[in-house]
Chain A
């Protein structure tokens, strides 16, 4: 069971350790600086932290001692376009939106997803990064557009546990794109999704879907769950198609989704008022959980604020550990909750953190 919790916030990285029956705040790194995302190795020794320093750009730091000390390393950067001084549109990374291990058999291989929506590969634990040119040069990319930000964002990376050459990425707004040869060639894998924010004749265009978050079940990798701007979608046929889940209570809008690592029928969502406003419906923070493949949902609220709450949970703000029992969730108003029983009961770890960008357990 995971015993480290990395909480990426607007003003630092708060590290919690599980002791006894609860999480204890044990250290803070990058105090005052915006931390946007972390990734930890399965043994929790190697940890990456992505920062966005605003004036001074996107930074990446690596720890090899479970977050006790950190070294700044070179972040992913787009290749230099010649005469770019005159070309204001030449891309530059504005945010690291996803970090993932690229191959269970190679502990040094990593993927990073960025805004603008480039996918970068590192063969050497982040020492060097290279842009995946085939995805970046895919003609369909010209139709991608930003969701929530000017830049497009590649925020979801699903490396197939059966075959690391098979990687699906989710882009806001660019649908789902799949490679089966380690990134040499890519195909569109967003068929079945639907958007309300485009003219009706383009609603089913798989290339312009606003994926908020996509996850893949570790034990049943044919099954993917996806929180979309216009609702919840699921694929049970290894990304050949998506079908919409229309019966989620409270709201189908939201940002995060987590799937049970062993049970493809179980997934968690955090609904929010859709979509021009973003706050908990009726001021109640709840988690929607299904345990039967979305035939039915439980709306879980024990331990979560009911009434007058304004907490929004971002796409990386919900995490589940490898057992499927331990969850953590952090909000834009700085509340951090954890559950030990699959979300049935939540305990408040802090109500006073800075806005939380991401939570990760290891």
Chain B
């Protein structure tokens, strides 16, 4: 299972700590999480289901800067969804 972690700034809409999810890429794993925590969706994705501009996504220790949603995951990948410091 993929382990998904969200910035603690989002603790009012999604739990802190690792959340187990299924998915072969970032989009699938996030959708699996948002199915359980729907209020979190709009904090991470915009109207067009794009990753918000000032959200930083790390996969297995690498900051993925383009093609984030299609980025492939292994069955044991670790995903971090953080606030980018570019956002203030």
Contact = CB atoms under 8 A, between A and B. Distances in A.
Interface of A: 53-57, 59, 72, 74-75, 77-81, 84-85, 87-88, 90-93
A57 B48 contact: no
B50 A57 contact: no
Contacts, number: 56
Interface stretch (B15-23, B28-36, B71-79, B80-88): B80-88
B37 interface: no
A85 B69 contact: yes
B46 interface: yes
A72 B52 CA distance: 19
Contact of A55 (B42, B47, B69, B87): B87
A81 B48 contact: yes
A196 to B, nearest CB: 33
Q: Which range holds the interface residue count of chain B?
A: 20 to 34
Interface of B: 9-10, 39, 42-44, 46-50, 52, 54-55, 69-70, 83-84, 87-88
A79 B10 CA distance: 25
A56 B47 contact: no
A55 B49 contact: no
A84 B83 contact: no
A174 to B, nearest CB: 20
A81 B49 CA distance: 10
A66 to B, nearest CB: 23
Contacts of A59: 42
25 contacts: A53-B43, A54-B88, A55-B52, A55-B55, A55-B83, A55-B88, A56-B43, A56-B52, A56-B55, A57-B43, A72-B39, A74-B42, A77-B47, A78-B48, A79-B47, A80-B48, A81-B48, A84-B48, A85-B49, A85-B50, A85-B70, A88-B50, A90-B50, A91-B47, A92-B46
A55 B54 contact: yes
Contact of B84 (A55, A88, A91, A92): A55
